[in-house]
Amino acid sequence: MHKSDIPVTHDALSCFEDHVRLQKRLDALTRVPSFDFDVLAELGIEYRVPLDLAKERIGEEFDFVFSESVLEHVPIDEVGAVLANLAADLRPGGFMIHRIHLADHRSFVHDPFAFLDMPRYERSEQTKYGNRLRASTWLSLFRAIPSLDVSTLFQWTYPDARLPLVAPEIEYVDENDLRTGNLGIIAWKTTTP
């Protein structure tokens, strides 16, 4: 874990764990010199590859799923299946938190929405720079899963960033939806599928 990720991860998880205990665990992760399979196992982390969550479930029940800057790299045509498979493996009462970066990964700061005007945006660009799904679409995809209750943890916008002409295939509700650069979603599993 990179030290710059610590505050963001701490903030995302702090409502679920004692602050001091959480900080100690995160500090311990930053002191690990290298993560190999043995070290991961000692930390209680099982590393599984290959695994394509768009095609298969993990097949075990989990209490908690967390991702940071991951889901925006899933190709658009696979997002629904990935979310459904994650929800299917979540035990009733379990929850997941996802922090999704909605800005162009080529230039978060200087031109965060440049990719919105690209008319041909290939699968390789979706996985590398972000799939361009807007906040309203993410929320709709999560809410389409019947067993989940979904809420927004945060939604940060870039009100002063340049907003280009938007390619016609991009779905959005309004300008605020287009300008959202970071989205935090929490979802609880209420029933079994």
Q: Which helix (H) or strand (E) holds 191?
A: none
- Return phi, psi of residue 152, to 5°: -90, 125
Residue 62 zone, left/alpha/beta (φ > 0; ψ -120 to 50; rest): beta
Positive or negative torsion for Cα 102, 105, 108, 111:
negative
pLDDT in tens, 68-102: 999 999 999 999 999 999 999 999 999 999 999 99
Where do the domains of the chain lie?
A: 1-47, 60-189
Q: Average pLDDT, stretch 15-22?
A: 79
Q: Are 134 and 171 in contact (CB under 8 A)?
A: yes
Q: Residue 56 corresponds to which tokens in the numbers above?
A: 């298969």
Asked whether the predicted pLDDT for residue 192 surpasses 70, the reply is no
Helix, coil or strand: residue 167: coil
pLDDT in tens, 93-148: 999 999 999 999 999 889 999 999 998 899 999 999 999 999 999 999 999 999 99
Which residue type, as a one-letter code, is found at position 134?
A: R
Q: Residue 132 corresponds to which tokens in the numbers above?
A: 């361009």
DSSP conformation class of 43: T
Helix, coil or strand: residue 111: coil
Q: Counting Cβ atoms within 10 Å, is residue 132 exposed (0-12), middle (13-18) or buried (19+)?
A: buried
